[in-house]
Amino acid sequence: MPLDLDFMIRIFPELFRALILTVQISFLALLFGIVLGILLGSLRVIGPRYIQIPIQWLVNYIRGTPQLVQFLIVYFALPRIGIVLNEYWTGVVALTVIAAGYEVEIVRAAIESIDKGQKEAALAVGMSEVKALRLVLLPQAMRRMIPALTNELSNVIKASALLSVIAVNELTKVGNKIIYETFYFFEVLIEVAVLYLIVIGVLGWISSYFENKVFAYGEAITATEVR
């Protein structure tokens, strides 16, 4: 079955705009997710138990329920509690919730991967737990998080396809719309898939670039320790 290339080129601008929107929303969600993730992830490590446990529940809930369900809950729940946002920001909030759920764990794991001597040394010079976290643990944990976070951005972009159900004009939604108008199933779907692939491929490349750099840093440490 030959593809109608002319058609594919004609719809490209519209799909490209949708792609930009998709990346934008995903990026914002990741950013807010990182802020939330660092906050909650830190509390998860040094907070009192009555804070740690609810955070763990939240994480379990987010990881243990379908993302579509979470989207719909955010979509319907926000207006109920008096927060009326347009589709764009509803989408950002919904995706942020998902991203944060994973990032809390990324942050926690990164902090806990730092040698415990670092924290003890910080406490021994008279730092509080909060200062030890802010000045010693987080700066080191941050660089270990980078690969996982870049990877997480790909996941968020894939999850953003679900925003089509709440009428955000992201890539999947726009693709669907064109299909309904023209019935060019394959042309549209293939083009949509390729666009996702390119973006996620680029991110994967960035991710492994960071990973190698971070890994190289780790190697440098052990190499000089032996000396």
Q: Which residues bind another protein (CB under 8 A)?
A: 115, 117-118, 120-129, 131, 135-136, 139-140, 143, 220-221, 224-225, 227
Q: Which two tokens stand for residue 145?
A: 């998080």
- Are 111 and 45 contacting, i.e. CB atoms less than 8 angstroms apart? yes
The Cα–Cα gap between 221 and 130 comes to: 26
- The nearest distance, CB 44 to another protein, in angstroms, is 18
Enclosing H/E stretch for 71: helix 67-80
Pick 48 or 66: Cβ nearer another protein = 48
- The nearest distance, CB 143 to another protein, in angstroms, is 8
Q: Which two tokens stand for residue 26?
A: 């995903």
The Cα–Cα gap between 148 and 176 comes to: 31
- Are 101 and 67 contacting, i.e. CB atoms less than 8 angstroms apart? no
- The nearest distance, CB 226 to another protein, in angstroms, is 10
Pick 120 or 181: Cβ nearer another protein = 120
- The nearest distance, CB 60 to another protein, in angstroms, is 28
Pick 43 or 157: Cβ nearer another protein = 43
Pick 51 or 194: Cβ nearer another protein = 51
Pick 1 or 221: Cβ nearer another protein = 221
Count Cβ neighbours within 10 Å for each residue of 62-71 and write b for 16 or more, e otherwise.
beeeebeebb
Helices (H) and strands (E) in the chain, counts: 9, 0
Pick 69 or 121: Cβ nearer another protein = 121
- The nearest distance, CB 53 to another protein, in angstroms, is 20
Pick 2 or 117: Cβ nearer another protein = 117
- Are 14 and 181 contacting, i.e. CB atoms less than 8 angstroms apart? no
- The nearest distance, CB 212 to another protein, in angstroms, is 17
- Are 147 and 78 contacting, i.e. CB atoms less than 8 angstroms apart? no
| Pick from 198, 152, 178: nearest CA to 34 | 152
- The nearest distance, CB 141 to another protein, in angstroms, is 10
- Are 41 and 103 contacting, i.e. CB atoms less than 8 angstroms apart? yes
